[in-house]
Amino acid sequence: MSNTLRYLYCCACLLAAAGCGATQQRIGTEQLLLSDSVDRTVDQLDFSILSGRKVFLDTTYVNPTAVKGQLFVNSDYIVSAMRHKLSTSGCMIQSSRDSADYVIEPRVGALGMDALEVTYGIPASSALSQAANAVAGVPAVPAIPEISVGKRNAAMSTSKIVVYAYHRETGTVVWQSGNAVARSDAKDTWVMGAGPLQRGTIYKSPRFAGSRLRLPRLFAPKPVQTPSPLTIADSHQFIHPAVLEQQLLDAREQKAESPVVPVNHESTEKPAEAEKKQGP
């Protein structure tokens, strides 16, 4: 095959592989990134030391004025996620501070989005057009379009939460969480105009232009299924409501039917019977 035919064959392959894809930034993706990072951050908090104890969640420093998110991912979402984590950790959440033994005080150090755009080639530019417009008598110069081999856009959300707990009556600090930081990302990649290839923590598998991308795994070993700790994002039924109601009903009936057990120093005998046993 001559060099000319090889060149034409390569050009035909490139033209066949080239494509055009575009995606628009969605507020839904931003909310998924923010909520995912918040869930990952709250999952890092270990409330096991307060399991079985009455606690009050003080949300003074997690208020709508200080914590501004995207639509539904705001201070209310953070508070609800923390209440969820406290409940699954065995803590007994109280509605008032006075009825609790310990007070849990959280604060939010970060909740925001970052974006990154990388172009492999010549990015679009309108500098020459603007310069020509500034000079009188010069004809208009069209803007230089984007000429790229590949392109990558990335969005990343970051959240940081710090929590500490203290005894309500004495004010003694009993526990602090340290810095709980989590990041979630979403990456879009274009190659020769075809795309986007979507990857990130909010996707269970790679996607192409919004559709799940199924990659063949001929020789990949089967992953070993190991139990993992329960997270906020997992679906799990702790107990069926009917089972819980029946358990509570049985406990009430058992408590009502159980006889009163006297204390050790108390006696069930009548005074006359006690005198007969003692004798003259």
Task: Name the band, by pLDDT with cuts 50, 70 and 90, for residue 120.
Answer: confident
**Number of CB atoms found within 10 A of residue 59's CB:** 18
Q: What's the pLDDT tens digit per position in 129-175? A: 776 676 666 677 677 777 778 888 899 999 999 999 999 999 999 99
pTM: 0.67
**Number of CB atoms found within 10 A of residue 88's CB:** 14
Q: Is 80 exceeded by the pLDDT of residue 1?
A: no
Task: Check residues 142 and 98 and name the one with the higher pLDDT.
Answer: 98
267 three-state secondary structure: coil
Judge whether 116 and 187 are in contact, CB under 8 Å.
Answer: no
Rounded Cα distance between 191 and 197, Å, is 9
pLDDT at 212: 75
Chain mean position to CA 270: 66
Judge whether 52 and 92 are in contact, CB under 8 Å.
Answer: yes
What average pLDDT does the structure give for the chain?
78
pLDDT at 6: 52
Rounded Cα distance between 93 and 97, Å, is 10
Say how many Å lie between the first and final Cα of the chain, rounded.
132
Task: Name the band, by pLDDT with cuts 50, 70 and 90, for residue 79.
Answer: very high
Task: Name the band, by pLDDT with cuts 50, 70 and 90, for residue 208.
Answer: confident
Q: Quick one: what percent of the chain has pLDDT higher than 90? A: 35
Task: Name the band, by pLDDT with cuts 50, 70 and 90, for residue 66.
Answer: low
Q: Is 90 exceeded by the pLDDT of residue 204?
A: no
Task: Name the band, by pLDDT with cuts 50, 70 and 90, for residue 44.
Answer: very high
Task: Check residues 70 and 93 and name the one with the higher pLDDT.
Answer: 93
Residue 111 burial by Cβ neighbours in a 10 Å radius (0-12, 13-18, 19+):
buried
| Report for 31-40, 71-80, 249-258, 263-272: range of highest mean pLDDT | 31-40
Q: Is 70 exceeded by the pLDDT of residue 275?
A: no
Six token digits for residue 205: 């598998």
